[in-house]
């Protein structure tokens, strides 16, 4: 899928291209006007030159001894000449010519007015009742060279103005869209659990209604989620007391019942009530994970919290839990201590429940706030591994549980801005299951 292009880039390139095209159009128009004026100036120069030379040529021809004999006028200094001329009689006989004149350039019979050949622009006029004619020829290349120089003179400033225009347009667009960029960054910086209104001042009139609509949507979503979380937490909380009372009565009934089917039935009811109590506890943890309060106001040292939770599991379980701590004395993070305890308990409980009974649970923490929990057992297939963090998904169908443990862990990790990765087989092993959690690292106060 093609990535969307930047609005700043599109505006900057589009405006610069549009301005450049307009400048090019204006330059071409100005060049055409300049070329027209140059042609008029050159034609006027031809006329003026012919009218100045012709009286002198007539005087020279009339005063010399052989007026019908052609005479070539030598230049005073050698220089590049753009004009050549012929003075002829009505029959076309040459009476006088410039030193570099080529008779082949001119027509056989002289005519008055302007004419144009493939390479020359000619002008002719007459005197003494059309008995003496003068024709002046100018190379068209001279005019083309002048037109090219005029075009270059108009285009060269444009070449310098294009990058300046691009830079100026980009700066102007960047300043104009600064509030839009700030709004985008505010949206990108939001955590998954932050549904508070996005406040960015001085948004353009076209974007401001969209920002207001997004804030209204966030408010409605926040209220809906709060209502759902409140219902979940209140329901789980309200179930705890009757569940505890019912469980106590069923335990008493099981002890008082005689051996037989009644005691077995009471034992099954007790197990079902225990599962319901655990589900109620998981729902309360999930409600906390989805709500606020996952980050603490001050950084907390994770090492004592980790050691405390692991000691609790060691005392309440016959399975071995190995703890590996970093060499440094403290590892600080911004995660809330209660949220960290819920996260760690669910990871250890998941490892104890699904891991091999004869292999220890490995819990470790690095100096970069990387938490790892590894258990033995057969490797989890990749299709199953991809869905283990979803709600009510379990790795093995024959193991009891609600399938909420890893979902709660993932929700907490996302809420604190961390990252979670599930790996099976575990790193450096042929079997087992590993959970790696990167928690937000913080400096000590």
CATH classification of the domain holding 232? 1.10.287
Please check whether residues 368 and 423 belong to one and the same domain. yes
For residue 279, the number of C-alpha atoms closer than 13 Å in the C-beta half-sphere is: 15
For residue 351, the number of C-alpha atoms closer than 13 Å in the C-beta half-sphere is: 34
Judge whether 169 lies within some domain: no
Instruction: State pTM to two decimals.
Output: 0.50
Please check whether residues 108 and 196 belong to one and the same domain. no
* CATH number of the domain encompassing residue 320: 3.30.565.10
Q: Is 409 in contact with 343 (CB distance < 8 Å)?
A: yes
Contacts of 289 (CB under 8 A, 6+ apart): 339, 342, 408, 411, 412, 415
Please check whether residues 269 and 298 belong to one and the same domain. no
What is the rounded distance in angstroms from the CA atom of residue 144 to the CA atom of residue 129?
36
Please check whether residues 223 and 370 belong to one and the same domain. no
Helix (H, G, I), strand (E, B) or coil at 401: coil
Pairing state between β 321-324 and 132-139: unpaired
Give the count of domains, the chain. Answer: 3
Structural domain boundaries, residue 391? 294-445
Judge whether 351 lies within some domain: yes
* pLDDT tens sequence for the chain (445 residues): 566 677 777 888 888 888 888 888 888 898 899 888 988 999 998 899 888 888 888 888 777 766 556 566 656 565 567 788 888 888 888 888 888 788 888 888 888 899 988 899 999 998 888 888 999 999 989 888 888 888 888 888 888 877 888 888 888 888 888 888 888 888 877 765 567 788 877 888 888 888 888 888 888 877 776 776 666 566 656 666 777 777 777 777 777 778 878 778 878 887 777 777 776 666 666 666 666 667 777 888 999 988 888 888 888 777 888 888 888 878 889 888 888 888 888 888 888 888 888 888 899 999 888 999 999 888 888 888 888 888 767 666 555 556 777 888 888 888 888 889 999 888 888 888 999 999 988 876 6
């Amino acid at each position: 899928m093609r990535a969307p292009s930047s609005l700043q880039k599109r505006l900057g390139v589009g405006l610069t291209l549009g301005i450049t095209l307009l400048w090019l159009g204006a330059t071409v128009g100005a060049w055409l006007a300049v070329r027209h004026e140059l042609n008029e100036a050159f034609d006027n120069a031809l006329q003026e030159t012919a009218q100045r030379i012709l009286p002198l040529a007539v005087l020279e021809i009339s005063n010399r001894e052989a007026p019908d004999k052609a005479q070539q006028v030598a230049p005073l200094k050698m220089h590049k000449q753009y004009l050549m001329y012929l003075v002829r009689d009505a029959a076309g006989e040459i009476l006088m010519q410039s030193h570099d004149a080529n008779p082949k350039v001119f027509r056989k019979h002289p005519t008055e007015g302007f004419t144009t050949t493939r390479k020359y622009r000619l002008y002719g006029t007459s005197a003494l009742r059309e008995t003496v004619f003068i024709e002046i020829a100018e190379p068209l290349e001279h005019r083309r060279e002048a037109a090219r120089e005029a075009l270059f003179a108009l285009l060269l400033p444009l070449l310098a103005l294009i990058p300046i225009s691009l830079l100026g347009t980009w700066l102007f667009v960047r300043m104009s869209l600064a509030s839009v960029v700030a709004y985008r960054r505010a949206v990108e910086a939001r955590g998954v659990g932050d549904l508070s209104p996005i406040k960015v001042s001085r948004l353009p009139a076209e974007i401001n209604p969209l920002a207001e609509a997004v804030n209204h949507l966030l408010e409605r979503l926040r209220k809906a989620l709060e209502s759902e979380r409140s219902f979940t937490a209140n329901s789980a909380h309200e179930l705890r007391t009757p569940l505890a009372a019912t469980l106590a009565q069923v335990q008493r009934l099981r002890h008082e019942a005689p051996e037989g089917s009644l005691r077995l039935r009471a034992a099954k009811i007790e197990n079902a009530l225990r599962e319901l109590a655990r589900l109620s506890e998981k729902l309360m943890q999930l409600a906390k994970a989805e709500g606020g309060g996952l980050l603490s106001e001050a950084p907390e040292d994770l090492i004592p919290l980790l050691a405390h939770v692991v000691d609790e599991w060691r005392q309440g379980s016959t399975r071995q839990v190995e703890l590996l701590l970093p060499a440094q004395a403290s590892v600080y993070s911004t995660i809330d201590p209660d949220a960290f305890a819920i996260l760690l308990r669910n990871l250890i409980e998941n490892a104890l429940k699904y891991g091999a009974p004869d292999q220890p649970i490995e819990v470790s923490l690095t100096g970069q706030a990387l938490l790892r929990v590894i258990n033995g057992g057969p490797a989890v297939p990749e299709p199953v591994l991809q869905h283990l963090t979803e709600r009510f998904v379990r790795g093995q169908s024959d193991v009891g549980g609600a399938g909420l443990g890893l979902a709660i862990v993932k929700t907490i990790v996302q809420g604190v801005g961390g990252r979670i990765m599930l790996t099976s087989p575990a790193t450096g092993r042929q079997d087992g299951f590993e959970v790696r959690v990167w928690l937000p690292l913080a400096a000590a106060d």
